């Protein structure tokens, strides 16, 4: 059987059989070697690397898996880098949190022990906490780093390791690359300081909760309207994750008194037994919440992912049917409400701004123009939104940022997406509309009438394992070497290549530089105004295709017809690109 295994993979696997690994790990490697060479190859063909969200992978034995050894080696590499970067800080401080996933608390303990053994003071949460609270804790406790053990919305077999810098944001270049280099220098588990200085680990909990919730409460823009609409019917589910305490408590403190939770999903469980995948983007994950919403005739339905940094919502349309909104629609509602209230309360001074990403709806830019606030666009990933905040700190006032993948951040005391505060402000927006005897769906129609009916759609093509990664890379190469001239019978007039940072006008032949960091993303702008973006995921074995089309909307009565036209246009674009 060994003859079918790549010699390099076999050498890496044998090192785990002969090294200082526990008996269970050795047994798992031996079983793969004898019975499943394909799985062995995927487990050992590479090391887990820092992507857009740090480490993320399937749990199990191997260098390309999430396990105590890869977590320990990553932590040692991170510790080595921090010791170089903060030579005058004694002790270096780290905050660590974890979600409800299987092994998250175990990996958090390993991370804390390795940091402590390196002389760090470690603040370890006493139980599961949301990612945004970890980001807040780094700044609140004046830490130099932080780690969140989570794989966000991935299926149950995954776990992950989000590494943060001293501003509470996930690391970007050069730090992410430099940490990866330090991790690669850890060639053996013997290089890791596994134990020592247990007194350096300090348990934290309620005090940080209260400080964080206090800052979230300061974001409220309409407390007087909530008092009038306190019985607004809200259904909430944490999808077995760590939003189960913080989101209901936040809604309560905002003043909402009629919040119904989905009891089956209020249980923290890393097997996510009631859903196929704990992803609020997917209708399956919202099934139980929607059943409860229909039962009580709810006004708003909200679901957060396992680490409570992303939120999906459902609301009733003009026919009284519950519909799921995509991340672009939710962002549009949230941004419009917040900027409208800022303007109404005379809080806008002309020095404020919002942030979005290159694959998120252009409607957000239209909203910024309407309210005369600055607009910045960055690469996909909230660490880039945090970087915009960092660069403008002390110069301009950040209000809100978001991306199409259901992540939003109001205020800058957190530097990662925050579903806890987003849930509160979305509920507040619903109360604001209810005070006008209207709904959030009415607000969405109003936005479309004022600024254009934008419709977006995302397709993710999954390509697993080593061969899948190669297929994804080849697809990007093909698009660059032989780009389409027409898509859905509409001429491609503009191509943006974020890998070479060039935008080319295919009509005039003129090129201009894109002022962003390099990223493996392509965008095709069509003559009819449609936009197609192609991007390999940085955290999953997928290549993503983002579609955006637009129509004018004259009135509410046109909505269904225009929605049909836009849906068909997206379907025709997908067919013309032979993606289905």
Tell me which residues are annotated as active site: 152
What does residue 11 show for φ and ψ, rounded to 5 degrees? -65, -45
Strand order in the sheet with 234-237: 259-261, 234-237, 300-304, 311-316, 322-324
Question: H or E stretch including 98?
Answer: strand 93-98
In angstroms, what is the C-alpha Rg of the chain? 24
Both tokens of 15, joined, read 């090192």
DSSP 461: E
Q: Which two tokens stand for residue 2?
A: 């060994």
93, β-bridge pairs:
121
Q: Please name every residue paired with 461 in a beta bridge, in sequence order, or none if there are none.
A: 543
Q: How many residues does the chain have?
A: 580
Q: How far apart are CA 145 and CA 135, in angstroms?
A: 9
**Spatial strand order in the sheet of 397-403:** 374-378, 352-357, 397-403, 407-410
Largest Cα span, the chain: 73
Between helix 37-44 and helix 7-18 the angle, nearest 10°, is: 80
The H or E element containing residue 555 is none
Phi-psi sector, 346: left (phi>0), alpha (psi -120 to 50), beta: left
φ, ψ (nearest 5 deg) of residue 85:
-85, -25
**Would you put residue 468 in left (φ > 0), alpha (ψ -120 to 50) or beta?**
alpha
Residue ranges of the alpha helices (H) in 223-279?
Answer: 223-228, 243-254
């Amino acid at each position: 059987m060994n003859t079918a295994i790549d010699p390099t993979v076999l050498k890496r696997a044998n090192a785990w059989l002969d090294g200082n690994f526990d008996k269970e790990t050795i047994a798992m490697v031996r079983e793969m070697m004898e019975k499943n060479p394909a799985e062995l190859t995927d487990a050992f063909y590479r090391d887990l690397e820092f992507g857009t969200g740090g480490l993320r992978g399937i749990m199990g034995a191997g260098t390309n898996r999430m396990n105590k050894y890869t977590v320990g080696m990553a932590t040692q590499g991170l510790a080595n880098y921090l010791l170089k970067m903060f030579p005058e800080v004694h002790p270096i401080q780290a905050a660590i949190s974890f979600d409800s996933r299987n092994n998250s608390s175990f990996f958090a303990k390993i991370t804390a022990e390795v940091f402590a053994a390196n002389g760090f003071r470690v603040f370890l949460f006493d139980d599961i906490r949301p990612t945004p609270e970890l980001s807040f804790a780094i700044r609140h406790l004046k830490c130099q780093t932080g780690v969140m053990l989570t794989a966000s919305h991935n299926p149950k077999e995954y776990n992950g390791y989000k590494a943060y810098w001293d501003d509470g944001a996930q690391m970007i270049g050069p730090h992410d690359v430099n940490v990866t280099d330090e991790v690669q220098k850890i060639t053996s588990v013997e290089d890791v300081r596994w134990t020592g200085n247990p007194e350096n680990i300090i348990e934290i909990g309620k005090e940080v909760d209260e400080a964080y919730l206090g800052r979230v409460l300061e974001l409220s823009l309409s407390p007087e309207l909530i008092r009038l609409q306190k019985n607004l019917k809200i259904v909430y589910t944490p999808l077995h994750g760590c939003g189960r305490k913080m989101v209901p408590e936040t809604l309560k403190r905002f003043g909402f008194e009629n919040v119904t939770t989905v009891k089956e999903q209020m249980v923290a469980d890393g097997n996510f037994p009631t859903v196929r995948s704990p992803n609020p983007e997917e209708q399956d994950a919202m099934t139980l919440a929607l059943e409860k919403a229909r039962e009580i005739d709810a006004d708003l339905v909200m679901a957060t992912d396992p680490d409570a940094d992303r939120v999906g919502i459902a609301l009733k349309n003009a026919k009284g049917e519950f519909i799921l909104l995509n991340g672009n629609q939710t962002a549009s509602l949230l941004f419009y409400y917040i900027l409208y209230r800022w303007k109404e309360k005379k809080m806008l001074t002309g020095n404020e701004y919002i942030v979005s990403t290159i694959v998120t709806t252009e409607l957000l830019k239209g909203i910024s123009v309407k309210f005369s606030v600055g607009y910045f666009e960055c690469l996909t990933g909230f660490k880039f939104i945090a970087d915009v905040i960092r660069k403008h700190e002390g110069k301009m006032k950040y209000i809100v940022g978001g991306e199409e993948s259901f992540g939003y951040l109001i205020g800058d005391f957190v530097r990662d997406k925050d579903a806890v505060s987003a849930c509160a402000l979305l509920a507040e927006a619903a109360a604001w509309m209810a005070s006008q005897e209207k709904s959030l769906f009415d607000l969405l129609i109003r936005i479309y009438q004022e600024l254009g009916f934008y419709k977006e759609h995302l397709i993710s093509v999954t390509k697993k394992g080593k061969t899948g990664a190669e297929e994804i890379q080849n697809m990007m190469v093909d698009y660059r070497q032989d780009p389409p001239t027409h898509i859905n019978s509409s001429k491609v007039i503009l191509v943006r290549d974020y890998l070479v940072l060039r935008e080319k006008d295919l009509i005039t032949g003129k090129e201009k530089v894109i002022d962003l960091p390099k990223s493996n993303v392509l965008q095709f702008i069509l003559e009819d105004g449609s936009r197609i973006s192609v991007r390999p995921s940085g955290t999953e074995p997928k290549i993503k295709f983002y579609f955006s089309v637009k129509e004018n909307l004259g009135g509410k009565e046109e909505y269904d017809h225009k929605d049909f036209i836009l849906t068909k246009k997206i379907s025709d674009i997908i067919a013309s690109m032979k993606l289905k």
